[in-house]
Structure 1
Amino acid sequence: MGGALSLTLGALAYPSMLGLDTVSTTTDRVIANTQWGPLTEGDRDFVVKVRAAGLWEYPLGQIGLQKGTSKAVLTASEHLVDGHAALDTTCRKIAPMLNITLPNVASPQQEGFVTQLKGETGAQFDTDFANILRMTHGSIFNTVAKIRSTTKNSLVRALADQANDTVLDHITVMEKTGLVDFDSTIFQQTTPPKLPKSDLTPPAPAAGAPLVVLTPPPNATSTPVDIDGIAGGAANSTAGAAANAGTGG
């Protein structure tokens, strides 16, 4: 990648706090200068948030396809799997280019949502599925908009564009189930519980562990960002170097 990254590479350590909460009071601090623009703490943490979201919403979509009792819930589940597979492809493409370490497991809070819904069936599953996912997508929607409007990094900007479309689509399909309790959902979205930071942080991956891949469904309609078109040959060379090193980011 040559001179793609310079300065403060040591600052790209795994984020100290991620999830649905703000990760730092210095999110605008530049932690690396790259050929695609400066990378801030907020940019880095956003890429990790998008990855972590897929690590629980993608399998939850698969569960919804098995447990959902209405056509609308099944459709919403399809959108989760489709959209997060495409977002994950983009995250895995740009992470090694920006020297960002991606998690392989979602945060404990996010994993808790999956555990809860695994134990439910019938109407209870459908209702909690729609409301939990409407709440979490609503929570991240403002973060996506902020990153899109403030980032100076073209790769992060492209991911934010894709995330904006995906999150809005997922909010919409949850609402179309007819099961969303807006008073309760918006209250939880705007007044989240005070959880320990450890509950909101995806654990760092084990050293040398291969990245978990969220495989697109056979009938995928969502597409990843054309990173090669944005970054040129550097995208392929950087991703290849990361794969050869066995790091993935």
Structure 2
Amino acid sequence: MVLTFLLAPVSPARADGTVPGIPVPQNSFNAKGAGSVSAADRDFVIKVRLAGLWEIPAGNMAQEKSDDPRVVTIGKSIAAQHVLLDKLDRDVAKKLSIDLPSEPNSDQQFWLSEMRNANATTFDQIFVDRLRAAHGKIFPAIATIRASTRNDSVRQLAQQTNQFVLTHITLLESTGIVSYGDLPTAPPPANPNAGPVPVDGQMVAAAHSSTSAIPGVNTTVILLVLAAALVAGVITTMRIFRAR
């Protein structure tokens, strides 16, 4: 039964619309808006709204200006998926009384102006690079909110957004024209000499307690007992061979 459960395919719910395959995770949270809402949570809900405000028109422009059928299809998919994600985001914002913007920010407006001013030759590269960079920037922020939020509605929105963004990154990269060299690199680790697993006070205390789990017995006594057992074993072996 366990193997059957683990191997069973998970089919995401699909939105009603002209573009098939819009990924929406099934609602396993039963989110009711329960839990405290942090400043980071509010900022995340606002950023999801801002993403839709410029990526929907960007996707529509791709359908109008690109001569590449792949880019046209990708633009159509991204625009349609952001329409759905925007609705999910507005529902959460309403439930949590979060005020949302009604127009893109200055950077997003600039990217849209770049696309409007581009011709058929330059549009595809601008469209793919701007959207790929934006999705890569918000991707780690989604993981942080998903892992840390105390609010169930924000947690559900973060999981849904994660699936959308990963889909969009994959679609954009499928064009084969992403300028990876222009993407921002990951920040260096805070302590480059630290090991792969962080060690904190609790881990040190746990390790210490594990070595002294037997009351009244320290490490020196254990080593002496092991040494005595080793010597006894060697003597016994030598006697066996001599008897032969």
TM-score bin (small chain)? 0.5 to 0.7
The answer to whether the 8 Å contact 2:139/2:165 transfers is yes
- How far apart are the structure 1 equivalents of 2:165 and 2:78? 9
Q: Which residue, 79, 103, 115 being the options, matches 1:117?
A: 115
Q: Distance in 1 between matches of 2:140 and 2:104?
A: 20
Aligned equivalents of 2:46, 2:171: Cα separation in 1: 24
* Structure with larger Rg: 2
Aligned match of 1:136: 134
In the aligned structure 2, how far is the partner of 1:134 from the partner of 1:56?
13
Matches within 5 A, 1:85-234: 85-187=83-185
Q: CA deviation at 1:186?
A: 3.5
Unaligned runs of 5+ in 1: 1-33, 191-249
Output the CA distance in 2 between the equivalents of 1:94 and 1:126.
Answer: 33
Considering fraction of residues, name the structure with more helix.
2
Q: Map 1:58-97 to 2 at 5 A.
A: 58-97=56-95
Q: Which amino acid aligns with 1:151?
A: T
What TM-score comes out, normalization by structure 2 length?
A: 0.62
Question: Paired residues, what number?
Answer: 157
Deviation of 1:185 after TM superposition, in Å, equals 2.2
Is the CA contact 2:146–2:158 (under 8 Å) kept in the aligned structure 1? yes
1:35 Cα deviation after fit = 5.3
| Structure 2 runs not aligned, ≥5 long | 1-31, 188-244
SS in 2 for 1:39: coil
CA distance in 1, matches of 2:183, 2:68: 21
TM-score by length of 1: 0.60
How far apart, CA to CA, are the structure 1 residues paired with 2:137 and 2:121? 24
Confirm or deny: 8 A CA contact 1:145 1:164 kept in the other structure: yes
Contact conserved, 1:148 with 1:157, CA < 8 A, in 2?
yes
Q: Which residue is 1:236 aligned to?
A: none
Q: Using CA pairs below 8 Å that are at least 6 residues apart, which structure has the higher relative contact order?
A: 1
Amino acid at match of 1:144: I
Q: Distance in 2 between matches of 1:165 and 1:94?
A: 17
Return the alpha-carbon distance in structure 2 between the equivalents of residues 35 and 156 of structure 1: 8
Output the CA distance in 2 between the equivalents of 1:90 and 1:68. Answer: 29
On the 8 A contact 2:33/2:152 being kept in 1, the answer is: no
Mapped to 1, the partners of 2:138 and 2:77 lie a distance apart of 17
SS in 2 for 1:37: coil
Report Cα offsets for 1:191-210 as digits up to 9, x if no partner: xxxxxxxxxxxxxxxxxxxx
Cα displacement string for residues 45-95 of structure 1 (whole angstroms, at most 9, x for unaligned residues): 100000011000001100111011112211210121111111110111111
Separation (CA, whole Å) in 1 of partners of 2:67 and 2:136:
24
Alignment deviations for residues 196-249 of structure 1 (CA, whole Å, 9 cap, x no partner): xxxxxxxxxxxxxxxxxxxxxxxxxxxxxxxxxxxxxxxxxxxxxxxxxxxxxx
CA contact (8 A) 1:73 1:126 kept: yes
Structure-2 separation of matches of 1:184 and 1:96: 37
Amino acid at match of 1:137: H
Where 2:36 maps in the other structure, the secondary structure is: strand
Contact 2:114-2:126 within 8 A present in 1 as well? no
RMSD between aligned alpha carbons?
Answer: 1.7
Query: Aligned residue for 1:30?
Result: none
What is the CA-CA distance between 1:123 and the residue it aligns to?
A: 2.5
Residues 35 and 150 in structure 2, CA contact (< 8 A), matched pair in contact too? yes
